[in-house]
Amino acid sequence: MAKEPKRIPPFNPLDKTNLGESVADAMLQQPIHPLPPDEPFIGAGIYALYYEGDFALYTDIAERNRDGRYSWPLYVGKAVPAGARKGGYGLGADPGQALFRRLSEHAGSINDAENLRLADFRCRFLVVDDIWIPLAESLLIAMYSPLWNQKIDGFGNHDPGKGRYNQQRSPWDVIHPGRPWAYKLQSPSNDEKAIREDAATYITRAKTKLMAQDRGETGA
């Protein structure tokens, strides 16, 4: 009996995943900028932050970002129009300077940290129609496993405000103390040593995954 031929699904360029990947790829083709960018601009979108300093825990990450490579983001994020946060995705909400403001906020957090230098960070970003922002961000996080998204979380947090300081201090604020409002939060359940050890293990696994991707082993 003849063997049934293999059925290969046809490529659909309008599939939402393929469209999201095209946005993510476009972001990765953007030029590298200082953090924050030199000039304010209007727009919402997605971005990646790259580290190339000498903080010991991030050695493997920094090595992939030096000499103009910028191939392993430490953090990936999005900035959406204010209206989009209230359910208005894709409805043409005025973005204002949402993306520039978000990058500037991140620069402020890094400046506050006692053991980081803002000069060691770079960013790339893409202004995007708001309907594609969440999908592209998710794909970039899945692709690069950024440490500050997946393991040392809390970098993107804001001051919770008076009366809300019963929350625990984030792992990011434990590793990188300095944000004044974070000192008002409760002590975390894990100490710094445990957070660092967990992060180091994660970096090793993520590095192995990225090296496999470099070799074209997409199933890794």
- pLDDT tens track for 23-56: 889 999 999 999 999 999 999 999 999 999 999 9
Task: Provide the pLDDT for residue 83.
Answer: 63
Task: Provide the pLDDT for residue 115.
Answer: 98
Mean pLDDT for the chain overall: 90
Question: Could you write out the three-class secondary structure of the chain?
Answer: CCCCCCCCCCCCCCCHHHHHHHHHHHHHCCCCEECCCCCCCCCCEEEEEEECCCCHHHHHHHHCCCCCCCCCCCEEEEECCHHHHHCCCCCCCCCCCHHHHHHHHHHHHHHHCCCCCHHHEEEEEEECCHHHHHHHHHHHHHHHCCHHHHCCCCCCCCCCCCCCCCCECCHHHHHCCCCHHHHHCECCCCCHHHHHHHHHHHHHHHHHHHHHHHCCCCCC
Residues 6+ apart with CB under 8 A from 208: 220
Question: Band of the pLDDT at 162, cuts 50, 70, 90?
Answer: confident
Task: Provide the pLDDT for residue 2.
Answer: 67
Task: Provide the pLDDT for residue 189.
Answer: 79
Q: Are 74 and 148 contacting, i.e. CB atoms less than 8 angstroms apart? A: yes
Task: Provide the pLDDT for residue 21.
Answer: 84
Task: Provide the pLDDT for residue 18.
Answer: 74
Report pLDDT digits (tens) over 72-83.
999 999 999 876
Would the pLDDT of 1 be above 70?
no
- So where are the chain's domains? 20-214
Report pLDDT digits (tens) over 81-93.
876 555 554 556 6
**From the centroid of its chain, how far is CA 11?**
29
Q: Is the pTM of this model over 0.85?
A: yes
Measured CA to CA, the distance from residue 20 to residue 139 in angstroms comes to 7
Question: Band of the pLDDT at 220, cuts 50, 70, 90?
Answer: very low
Task: Provide the pLDDT for residue 41.
Answer: 96
Q: Which of 108, 166, 126, 146 is nearest to 30 (CA)?
A: 126
Q: Are 48 and 30 contacting, i.e. CB atoms less than 8 angstroms apart? A: no
Question: Tokens 């592209």 belong to which residue?
Answer: 136
Q: What percent of the chain has pLDDT over 70?
A: 90
* Dihedral in degrees, nearest 10, Cα atoms 99, 104, 106, 107: 150
Task: Provide the pLDDT for residue 53.
Answer: 98
Which one has a higher pLDDT value, 126 or 91? 126
Task: Provide the pLDDT for residue 8.
Answer: 77
